[in-house]
Structure 1
């Protein structure tokens, strides 16, 4: 579809005047309808499976009911215990339970079957009673034999067991332990009578307290001649509750659109509640996604932000969402063919599940016998011989189940991405409405096909407008750099990247001629972006100077979090390893940690070699890692750990990512391995983490000092129960507030899985633990958000209208890359020419002064002096020349 020529202006003309208005109207109506259909399909599926408690609307109702119902059950226990005369049969059993656990089990059981008109009281009560007994068994097991309990739990966690499977395993295992008297688990089974009585008592509590359900005779029960005329009772929602729930479901459907791109420039944000989409069919999220779960807190924060003047922020987000995009149809054509072949081309996930291991003949025979026994309503007992075969089969099947679960998620994302690209391929231009998180980072609102999506999504997108590549603007070099970088040659100097591209011209021409025959691109680091760059490069070669290029060319920061930490304190050590100073080759901090720099940093490689040569008790651990890495520790071993450090990466995070790396390079056997094997593996990981943490702590010593200092400031303010506000150099105001998520935490072992349930609405009381945990990463994120906004400000002033952003990766047309490279360096320097720590400290001091004046009646001057004493002293800065960034070719590369 070709967009007619128009002089329509976003800021002055009515949207109805835009030539694509009717199509936009239709698309936004489709977004609403597809979202509503998806919600409705999920509800229908939940109804069929009696799992309605998983619906967001139902979960909200459950959360509202749990506190009062738990308190009501507690009061019933207390009153029944004090009453003279016979006690309820259920009393001693419910008395032993946490009342909120009993409340959750009851509400979940009833709400799971809410889709039915009537739930038979007998079956419902028995289900609730048995689940309560199961819960008590699990708690006894965990209390008396925690080691054995967590052994089974960890095994099910590794295998990603479903709730049904967990319940079955735990019930059977508990019964076996009691029967075999393996451990001291003296348990007197409740029996049907007790289970029924417990269930009835809890149902009665729900009916009495909420008023939303009622007990009544089953209207469908047929009385038979000669049989008892006792009515069959059911539990049913009241008509009033049904109407309320129906309206709530309708509202949820309408407020759950499938966000997609727009075909006319997105609506400018007018405050933080209105912008992005044009019609009432799509209710966009707020412009800023606040870190507060309590709705009143969100509304309060929204009111505050509406009153703040942030022109640079609004201009930046409008530039991003006014960038016009189109589908790269040649890449889409290849993606559709590759997806249809289902051969994993370009790292696409398999469409079909991996097959499970074949069952043995004995297992198949036993399954047939079990089905026959069920039809005949007789007991079936599996032999020990078949039991062993089933256990072995499950061990072999578990990793396949896990792989298939991951595959399904990736497969769905791929399907939606390609389908969306096919739908929007008819348009010559479309746009992505954007939003902010509370730290000032910008995100496209649509999912899947979007500029911050995965490699496939980004390969399918190109700018709608093209600009010429000339000898003067340097676009040809940048286009070659993009191609080499997407291929994986992004750690070498620019000249070597360009030389590599020129040396492989024949290969690129063959790929462009037929990508489905010449598939070298599929092995690239980012295959779909590599294919897009290859096609663009060959087009340039065929056209020559003046070629109109639309491909986004991207450059990435070098561990951007550490770049900010190094700039804050002018850290000349870490700053050198993240390219804050000029160098003839790009520096690589991940490689420095792994192998050292031959000068100031002794890397892991040398440390392990010294331990091995020393012959001490850790020699075999050092040898294990050296042999695994073929005596050459790769940067990939340390990359994820170093990357997350500025964002709150702890030793636990180092352990997690080291284990993930090891699982990729030295996979665990399909059966999980023996306990001795797992213990040895854990020892190896712990050993590596210890030494990696020591090396990183030395390289980024000053950065860690900044993170600790920020936490100390946050601790002082957190003691006042006040949010922390600070303003970054772009003018954006960060509101740092983590509210306590609950008043009462109910921890269940339902089906062997620890479940933490919020039984009260999030309070306005601040969570000091979360405030401290989040302050360092959020402060760093706020700085990279500010740098992006200031860079966009320069781009707008220079007339650069098309821009792509992935947080710490910036992109535009090849012909504008020289200008962008300069602007992003200037923006970074502008951020850090401010005393960002001093300004943060001053913001904390102002908060403390307000509290001291209001709560202690102090004189403002005295309060200011007191607040200054309460906060940590400013940190000393190093000798790094910040302006050197302006001359560093590989600062963003």
Structure 2
């Protein structure tokens, strides 16, 4: 197995002979320092700024944001030092026994930096207001979330300190026991074995004790450690603001309060409103990034050689994201991974899920760089006020003015009196407008924070020749980047800021694929045209693209601003302009990723599983002259159903609703419902989605009527889906019934993906525990494998989770095939990327791997596996539904399957 791991290192991580490459060794060392010393460097920065302040008698030389943070750091460090002294002396008055020992594990200055940056990061992310369908609002977060995240950050630093201490002890013991030549080589070998032992020797039990929830670092302890540090921050952090008379006064920078929602009361932490003036300060943005270690890497990631060894170079990681909490891997799933890994190593074979690890290694070794041209335009848009191309405006929406009312007369008790007061209706309208403005401005603050964090990461990485994104998976096997702030899985802003690090020639067809890419990104219906028409549409407007590339923000460069994905469209404009200007487009070396996206990919897999010919045609599994659009197809079916209801006088209420709804039925109305139908959307969820669409377009003012129309439309939309995807709906119903039978025995649903990954649905009834802290009491919910399963959730989640495990297998099979063919590959669930000149070859692999995947009897295999895993209910598990007549081989000739 050691030879297998070394083979993976050579295949997926480092270039051959990297040990002798001084530049590679330097990059590796820098990456290790970035991961290990993030907090230490931030502490040194604060100390250096404190020395500057003392030496010069003030901090005026510091940037505004750094000055503010520096003012928090020193008092907080002193308060933590005092608290640690109280822990050591066992000072009476406060029970510190359950959190005190953990506060002693780090120096006060480190704890201060972690506290400041974690709390500010959570406040910048904001909180979505308790179930309301609005955006997160910066400046406030739930107390329980803040203390949990802070506890996790402290725990991570403690674990890293322990790892560093073990490495130092290993080196010391080795050097004490061995002398002579080649000491360094022997030390490196011993140290690697030591690190391997740390992450493998005791399997999941060891991991649970050192890194997850089973240890003395459980959720309760993390919360109490976090609460103690938050309490110190609340009492020490002060900010100077203008008082009522205009003079500066000191007030708390952070507040703890309660917010009521329905019958519940939630504790929240908020910052002072004055913080909003610091949001575009670079120091404040850095406070959300540093000391975050999960930044893009400057070297290839450590290959995943087993389920708990890979990713970042100096971080103990598990391939499955989550911490045994909601929607993370259950302990049973981790034990299944560990059991399979251990058995494979004893037998001298690769683990059954090794293809999953191999695919993650392919995704992680794809090298990226920052798109400097796009980044410069982003900076200019922000510097000139924002408000364009999804960049939030820098200015808030102004408050409404108090309603002016001319002097008039009113009658009071039979007497006429002069008045200048606005009417009660005007005042009510003003208050309503004021509240909406405040909510909108809070949303804008959150959008600015999100944009500026991404912008800051791009600026920090702009000088790197190559950056990498290590990947891991969720419990279903779907791949994600371990870095969260700027990656190709993110928004249009993120994707526009990234290009492949390696350039490849366009070749004969590459420029055409850039044209098609530009059309797809422009959208607005252009992306629904046949391929030749998309290409021609862009070619007819290529002068507009070239003007956009030459002067993106000039009067003639606005083509890209009208695109649905403006920043990716701008990146395409730059590349097309350069390719054409080169004089030899086929030889032009291009870095831009070109996408091939599935057509409602979840329904594609359902249709393939059920061999649903009619449904498969709608989602482009069958060859067509023009691309099929399932959303338009469902909208057309819904129109026919509504028209029939409108002509039916036997049910007057339904007839009235059909007549009212008919003018509003279109593609956009049903798109979200159709898209989420694959993921088990309920009637209630569908109704809310359609209700939101009707509200957005101002279709119906009467809220009661809008609710009834949405209720009717949701029912009929789900009927239209059932009519159009008969076999696919049968598959969905069968999966749900299987889950119901399994859960009837109090068991969680388990299955194995086509790539050998064991999956266990983690949904169980949560345990609750009342936690009393120095700030407030709250109920902590946590997962427990001993708790009873959440039957309704297990049943409703199984169909979409099974489909996700299938689509992840398709993506990973395609990734491995592209890697073997020498192509650069990136995957975003159902969107596959490569160089423009390599799109035809990637497209071939996409289709071949889909056919290969669905040529296996996946439903029969699942049926047999469920009967074997649950023998006590095997007789109750129904056989798979009969399949339709679709020929899966036809996918090979379908142009619009992925396009």
TM-score range, shorter-chain basis?
A: 0.5 to 0.7
**8 Å Cα contact 1:347-1:522 kept in structure 2:** no
Aligned to 2:833: 811
Aligned to 1:845: 867
Aligned to 2:408: none
2:378 pairs, out of 335, 339, 342, with 335
Aligned to 1:773: 796
1:705 pairs, out of 712, 719, 730, with 730
SS for the counterpart of 1:275 is strand
Instruction: Give the superposition deviation at 1:113.
Output: 8.3
1:312 equivalent in alignment to 2:351: no
Distance 2:695 2:296 in 1: 38
Aligned to 1:657: 689
Distance 2:783 2:300 in 1: 42
Instruction: Give the superposition deviation at 1:790.
Output: 0.9
Going from structure 1 to structure 2, the CA distance change for 1:49 and 1:890 (only over 3 Å counts) comes to closer
Going from structure 1 to structure 2, the CA distance change for 1:255 and 1:868 (only over 3 Å counts) comes to farther
Going from structure 1 to structure 2, the CA distance change for 1:32 and 1:492 (only over 3 Å counts) comes to farther
Going from structure 1 to structure 2, the CA distance change for 1:772 and 1:399 (only over 3 Å counts) comes to same
**8 Å Cα contact 2:519-2:537 kept in structure 1:** yes
Instruction: Give the superposition deviation at 1:620.
Output: 4.3
Matches within 5 A, 1:443-522: 443-471=480-508, 474-488=509-523, 489-517=526-554, 518-522=557-561
**8 Å Cα contact 1:43-1:52 kept in structure 2:** no
SS for the counterpart of 1:351 is coil
Distance 1:52 1:505 in 2: 53
Instruction: Give the superposition deviation at 1:561.
Output: 0.7
Distance 1:570 1:416 in 2: 45
Distance 1:347 1:49 in 2: 23
Going from structure 1 to structure 2, the CA distance change for 1:695 and 1:51 (only over 3 Å counts) comes to closer
Aligned to 1:606: 640
Instruction: Give the superposition deviation at 1:722.
Output: 3.6
1:758 equivalent in alignment to 2:781: yes
SS for the counterpart of 1:545 is helix
Matches within 5 A, 1:244-263: 257-263=292-298
Distance 1:824 1:784 in 2: 12
Going from structure 1 to structure 2, the CA distance change for 1:393 and 1:729 (only over 3 Å counts) comes to same
Instruction: Give the superposition deviation at 1:386.
Output: 11
1:782 equivalent in alignment to 2:818: no
2:598 pairs, out of 557, 574, 592, with 557
Distance 1:803 1:837 in 2: 29
Aligned to 1:624: 660
Matches within 5 A, 1:724-743: 724-742=749-767
1:56 equivalent in alignment to 2:143: no
SS for the counterpart of 1:346 is coil
SS for the counterpart of 1:268 is strand
Instruction: Give the superposition deviation at 1:832.
Output: 0.8
Going from structure 1 to structure 2, the CA distance change for 1:25 and 1:290 (only over 3 Å counts) comes to closer
SS for the counterpart of 1:269 is strand
Distance 1:109 1:324 in 2: 37
SS for the counterpart of 1:810 is strand
1:578 pairs, out of 600, 603, 619, with 619
**8 Å Cα contact 1:52-1:58 kept in structure 2:** no
Distance 2:234 2:689 in 1: 50
Distance 2:472 2:227 in 1: 39
**8 Å Cα contact 1:487-1:530 kept in structure 2:** yes
Matches within 5 A, 1:99-178: 114-115=231-232, 153=262
Aligned to 2:890: 884
Instruction: Give the superposition deviation at 1:112.
Output: 10
Instruction: Give the superposition deviation at 1:284.
Output: 4.4
TM-score (norm. length: structure 1): 0.67
SS for the counterpart of 1:553 is strand
TM-score (norm. length: structure 2): 0.66
1:535 equivalent in alignment to 2:574: yes
Gaps of 5+ in 2: 1-12, 43-109, 124-138, 153-219, 237-255, 271-287, 343-350, 406-420
Instruction: Give the superposition deviation at 1:348.
Output: 1.6
Aligned to 1:689: 714
Distance 2:116 2:802 in 1: 40
**8 Å Cα contact 1:320-1:803 kept in structure 2:** yes
Distance 2:443 2:235 in 1: 38
Distance 1:454 1:314 in 2: 26
Instruction: Give the superposition deviation at 1:771.
Output: 1.4
SS for the counterpart of 2:454 is helix
Instruction: Give the superposition deviation at 1:409.
Output: 2.5
SS for the counterpart of 1:870 is coil
Going from structure 1 to structure 2, the CA distance change for 1:254 and 1:623 (only over 3 Å counts) comes to closer
Aligned to 2:285: none
Distance 2:625 2:402 in 1: 61
**8 Å Cα contact 2:333-2:760 kept in structure 1:** no
Instruction: Give the superposition deviation at 1:27.
Output: 3.0
**8 Å Cα contact 2:115-2:150 kept in structure 1:** no
1:414 pairs, out of 429, 432, 451, with 451
Matches within 5 A, 1:258-269: 258-269=293-304
**8 Å Cα contact 1:469-1:548 kept in structure 2:** yes
Aligned to 1:871: 877
Going from structure 1 to structure 2, the CA distance change for 1:305 and 1:414 (only over 3 Å counts) comes to farther
Distance 1:811 1:621 in 2: 45
Aligned to 1:233: none
**Structure 1 residues 21-30 or 409-418, which shifts more?**
21-30
Aligned to 1:438: 475
Gaps of 5+ in 1: 1-6, 62-102, 120-130, 139-151, 166-252, 363-383, 596-602, 853-866
- Deviation string, structure 1 residues 726-773 (Cα, Å, up to 9, x no partner): 222223332333232126899xxxx9xxx9753886645432222112
Distance 2:121 2:494 in 1: 30
Distance 2:383 2:703 in 1: 40
Distance 1:490 1:392 in 2: 42
Going from structure 1 to structure 2, the CA distance change for 1:429 and 1:649 (only over 3 Å counts) comes to same
- Ranked by relative contact order (alpha carbons within 8 Å, sequence separation 6 or more), the top structure is 1
1:40 equivalent in alignment to 2:116: yes
Instruction: Give the superposition deviation at 1:444.
Output: 0.8
**8 Å Cα contact 1:50-1:113 kept in structure 2:** no
1:589 equivalent in alignment to 2:630: yes
Distance 2:595 2:684 in 1: 32
**8 Å Cα contact 1:743-1:759 kept in structure 2:** yes
SS for the counterpart of 1:462 is strand
Going from structure 1 to structure 2, the CA distance change for 1:482 and 1:25 (only over 3 Å counts) comes to same
Instruction: Give the superposition deviation at 1:617.
Output: 3.8
**8 Å Cα contact 1:456-1:529 kept in structure 2:** yes
Instruction: Give the superposition deviation at 1:843.
Output: 1.4
Instruction: Give the superposition deviation at 1:426.
Output: 0.2
**8 Å Cα contact 2:330-2:761 kept in structure 1:** no
**8 Å Cα contact 1:261-1:430 kept in structure 2:** yes
SS for the counterpart of 1:438 is coil
**8 Å Cα contact 1:478-1:817 kept in structure 2:** yes
Aligned to 1:22: 29
Distance 1:775 1:256 in 2: 38
Going from structure 1 to structure 2, the CA distance change for 1:434 and 1:647 (only over 3 Å counts) comes to same
- Deviation string, structure 1 residues 644-665 (Cα, Å, up to 9, x no partner): 1111112122112112212221
Going from structure 1 to structure 2, the CA distance change for 1:637 and 1:14 (only over 3 Å counts) comes to farther
Q: Which structure's CA Rg is the greater one? A: 1
Distance 1:60 1:420 in 2: 25
Distance 1:50 1:660 in 2: 25
**Structure 1 residues 42-51 or 499-508, which shifts more?**
42-51
- Deviation string, structure 1 residues 115-165 (Cα, Å, up to 9, x no partner): 39999xxxxxxxxxxx9xx99xx9xxxxxxxxxxxxx949x99xxx99799
